[in-house]
Structures are given as C-alpha cells and as structure tokens.
Amino acid sequence: MDLEIIRDQMSSATRGLLEAANLRPGQILVIGCSTSEILGQRIGSAGSVDVATVLLKELMDITKEHGIHLAIQCCEHINRALVVEQECVDKYNLDPVTVFPVPKAGGALAGTAMAKFHRPVVVERIQAHAGIDVGDTLIGMHLRPVAVPVRLPIRKIGEANLVLARTRPKLVGGQRAVYAHDEFEQKFGKHVLDSKNKS
C-alpha cells in the first residue's frame, strides 16, 4: 500500500469535510479509522502503526491549521473511548477515563495519537461537530444530533469505505415554525427589524 496515496486521500477527505461542514475554530472533529480495512483486511485483524502515523500527522496538521479539536475514536474493545488533547477536555468539561489504547485494544490510530498528541487524555464520550469514519468503525455515537451525510468525490481511503458527516442543530417547533432568516423577515416584518438595528 502506497502511504503517500493514503495520506493524500485523507487530506482530500478532511479538507473537503471541513469546508462542507463549515467547522469553526474550537469545534470538534471525530475520526474513527481501521488501518486494517485500509490495507484490505478485516477490521481489527491487521492494524498498521505505519499507516496510522502517516494519517495522524496529516490530520494533526490540518486540524491545527484550522484551530479544530481532533478526537480519535478507539475500537470497540475499550468501548469506543476517544483520545483528545487536554485543551479539548478543558474546553468541553469532559470526563477522563484511565486506559492506554494499544493496537489490539484501542487500535493503531488511537495508540499512535496517545504517543503523538501533546497532552493526550482518553475520554469516554464526546459530541463532535463533524466526523470521518474510515472502515465502518461506527462513529455515530460520538456525533451531535443531527448528523447529516456529506458526499465527496472520494469514497475510499486505501481499501476502506469512507463515510463523512457534519451535524446541524435540531429543528424545533412544527408546521408553523420558521427556520430560514429571510422567511423570518417576511413574517415578522422587516420594518420592525430595521427599527431595532437603528436603536
């Protein structure tokens, strides 16, 4: 497997998602990734630290560039806990747990994050604003409601299926509710809004 191709695929997927999701600095991007699936093997059977290292460097570079918090999901053997930086824990008041992800219980990417992050902390749950799932790792439990699929031209990383999601706030109300700003202006009266802005 060509590591440069994998790196470029992850870069395209990540940058495309950040643009589509319109993520703002300080928000959270969750990544679930099976390096086994990238290599064409069954999830959990052939994890690769080499693949994980290449992918994590790209993810860290891009999220740092955009001021986004990166959360790396562990595998199901430790209940899909996540590796984050202490800064993310502090900002979102997350509860740490005690465990060290390793390739056979946590996954290669999570173990690599534990080694490469500046101040890594493992937390049990998170509500991310967008997510990347490489190899059907099931990141949905860590996304905010409501999750919305994002379609990009890239559909795989290596041999692994790629699923991207952004989230949006829940729509509340019902048949009479208004969700678009221009409709609000129309129904409420633009003259009222204009007078408010002048005061």
> Among residues 36, 114, 102, which one has the least CA distance to residue 71?
114
The SS3 of residue 6 is helix
Longest CA pairwise span in the chain (Å): 65
The rounded percent of the chain whose pLDDT value lies above 90 is 80
Residue 47 has pLDDT above 70, yes or no: yes
pTM for this model (two decimals): 0.88
What pLDDT was estimated at residue 171?
A: 86
Instruction: Provide Rg for the chain, Cα atoms.
Output: 19
User: How does strand 120-123 pair with strand 82-85?
Assistant: antiparallel
What's the pLDDT at 165? 98
Least confident among 40-54, 55-69, 73-87, 138-152: 40-54
Backbone angles phi, psi at 69, to 5 degrees: -80, 135
Q: Is the pLDDT of residue 160 over 80?
A: yes
Residue 43 pLDDT more than 60? yes
Instruction: Check whether 71 has a pLDDT greater than 90.
Output: yes
Residue 193: pLDDT band by 50, 70, 90 thresholds?
A: low
Domains of the chain: which residue ranges?
3-172
- pLDDT tens string 72-100: 999 999 999 999 999 999 999 999 999 99
Match domain 3-172 to its CATH number in 3.90.870.10, 3.40.920.10, 3.40.50.10360, 3.40.50.10860.
3.40.50.10360
Strand partners, 29: 70, 130
Mean pLDDT (the chain) is 92
